[in-house]
Structure 1
Amino acid sequence: MLPDTNYDSFAEAYSTENESSLINAFYERPAVLDLVGDARNRRILDAGCGSGPLTKALGSRGAIMTGFDASKEMIRLARQRLGDEADLLVADLGQPLPFEDDSFDDVVASLVFHYLPDWVSPLKEIRRVLRPGGRLIMSVNHPLLYPLTNPGKGYFNLTKYSDEHSFNGQRGTLTYWHRPLHAMTDAFSKAGFQIETISEPPYSSDAPAGIIPPQFKDRDSFLSFIFFALRAQ
């Protein structure tokens, strides 16, 4: 079940944009790292690792890293970034993962699940490769984002939609699946996870003033992603 978004066609542009953008480098990635906490000597799987910036950050904090992505181009870029610092492979989150049961202390899934129409099966597979009591830290599009940016569209229906973006000057189309919050939490329960944290954090105080849009100058929070820390039961 490969996602509809084909990152291979704009992998380098997306990776370059991801390095320093407000939304990725100074909002989403710091929030995930905060939820992970102390990573020293923990075996962590980066599910949907892209070109590896989060994999690199966790490895620099002492984690033993493995990463996979459905995009061959993203994995090529991740290998350039990481060398032998992490085990990296091409794999599809919608299919059985090539890991033994109880292989990892934690899994991170950064901006991945909103590309998938079904959450339960992938979550069960992540639960399988996590040790008992391990955690899944994940971020997805906030469930209010779709109805707010598409007036007249319903909040409660599972809905496929696409957005056009510019990544370092190159156009790219991302195709998502909107689902309401209760559908997210229902999927967590069905897959054997308990919610420990739901977070809607501010962006990092380290963000350079020059990359903050004028409408955000008087506040440190905006509606974009929602973050979860889940415990495998």
Structure 2
Amino acid sequence: MAQETSGYDAFAGTYAAENETSLMNAYYERPAALALAGDVPGRRILDAGCGSGPLFAALRDRGAVVSGFDQSAGMVDQARKRLGDDADLRVADLADPLPFPDDAFDDVMASLVLHYLADWKPALAELHRVLRTGGRLIASVNHPMMVNLTHRAEGPRPDYFERYTWTDEFVLQGRPCRMTFWNKPLHAMTDAFTEAGFRISVIHEPHPTPEAREVYPDDFPILDTFPTFLFFVLEAG
């Protein structure tokens, strides 16, 4: 499968707990995604790669009609615990045909999911299919410059324009974790979006929320001066 999330099954509960309060998720990525979504009451929204459901919950609390899916069954189990048995949650792979009809959604939120895919073409075609004309895809991915500089610090300077895979190994609440990503330069991302029939309306490099300065005083200055994630708002043509 193109999207490697089998590791999430191994530490789904640990990741879900970390996601609740982490600097990267709770004070950076999720607030930025919600701000880009704006007013959502009554909007039909698909949470693509929903994980344990914190974004799903926030959108639902704001009045949206939300569906979600994730490739990891373990993460969907965590989402059901949070959201209840009546939540529209599926186990599905973004690299495969999605179990939703054409024109089913006003918005798709794809938070930190596309960078797991080597080839964005099939996934973007499916997301375009399930969006109504004029609907929005709001996506966040690893910032290519962040990846480039991280690899430069670890060894020979990489080629920014090269598309390559890399694996992040880290400890999460005492447990070793491993995730594999695909790096793409910015122009490869924008080309993929436009070729799939999307119009780029926003490219955004957010700051963490001001509250993060007090909660994470040591890490805040780094994140506040150099972006880790890159955000897009795309309109389906």
The 5 Å alignment of 1:37-116 reads 37-84=38-85, 86-116=87-117
SS at match of 1:164: strand
| Distance (whole Å) between structure 1 residues aligned to residue 215 and residue 30 of structure 2 | 19
Query: Could you tell me the TM-score, scaled by structure 2's length?
Result: 0.94
Q: How big is the shift at 1:169?
A: 2.2
Q: Is the 8 A contact 2:212 2:220 kept in 1?
A: no
The correspondence for 1:222, drawn from 219, 226, 232, is 226
CA contact (8 A) 1:16 1:168 kept: no
Instruction: Say whether 1:4 aligns with 2:18.
Output: no
Q: Residue by residue, what CA displacement relative to the aligned partner does 1:166-225 show, whole Å, maximum 9, x if unpaired?
A: 2222210110000000000000011100001000011011226132325718x8343200
TM-score normalised by structure 1 residue count: 0.96
5+ long unaligned stretches in structure 2: none
Percent of aligned pairs with the same amino acid: 55
Q: Relative to structure 1, is the Cα distance of residues 208 and 118 closer, same or farther in structure 2, using a 3 angstrom cutoff?
A: same
Equivalent residue runs for 1:1-233 within 5 Å: 1-6=1-6, 7-84=8-85, 86-151=87-152, 152-207=157-212, 209-213=214-218, 216=221, 220-233=224-237
User: Residues of 1 paired with 2:169 and 2:32: CA distance?
Assistant: 25
CA contact (8 A) 1:142 1:225 kept: yes
- Superposed structure 1 runs of 4+ greater than 6 Å apart: none
Q: Indicate how the Cα distance of structure 1 residues 161 and 214 shifts in structure 2: closer, same or farther if over 3 A, else same.
A: closer
The whole-number CA distance in structure 2 between the counterparts of 1:140 and 1:85 is 30
Q: CA distance change for structure 1 residues 164 and 116 in 2, over 3 Å: closer, same or farther?
A: same
The letter for the 2-side match of 1:76 is D
CA distance in 2, matches of 1:104, 1:47: 12
The worse-fitting range, judged by mean Cα deviation, of 141-150 and 179-188 is 141-150
